[in-house]
Amino acid sequence: MAANGAAGGLRIAMGGDDAGVGYRSQIKADLEADPRVAKVIDVGVHEKSDKTAYAHPADEAAKMVAKGDADRALLICGTGLGVAISANKVPGVRAVTAHDSFSVERSIMSNDAQVLCMGERVIGLELARRLAKEWIGYKFDPKSASAAKVDAIMEYEKKNFA
């Protein structure tokens, strides 16, 4: 399947920490009901009482994207920042924190980001649900002017993390 879920719908890994459990369960249900999504893979955490550090599920979800086992990942913690930092440690992954429609759009259209991160303590549930729905509707155009910019990012990754 293409990185943007071209055939059969998107495979989306979801994860986060205890601060993102509430939103994640609702957004997961939304994604599972969306015909554009083939599969949602939940990498945890699943309970507010589970104090697993956000870095662990973020790393697991990002590795799924990097290996091609998922097309994208949606990560939710308290701010969306820690999971983004963690996911960006996986080579080949571009993770962003976005809490508004324009940033969500540009994360795909300008940056070909495969991982969207949000903070449950930053935005309301209905906005988070809407942004997730918008996010799965965007597809990066590898022939766009932004493609060369994404290639430049990846070249820096090769140089700096070789």
At 110 the three-state DSSP class reads coil
Based on the residue annotation, tell me whether 117 is a catalytic residue of this protein: no
Strands across the sheet containing 72-77: 37-42, 10-16, 72-77, 115-119, 95-97
The DSSP H or E segment spanning 105 is helix 101-109
Among candidate residues 62, 77, 87, 132, the one labeled active-site is 77
Residue from 7, 5, 91, 90 nearest 43 by CA: 90
**What are the residue numbers of the active site?**
77
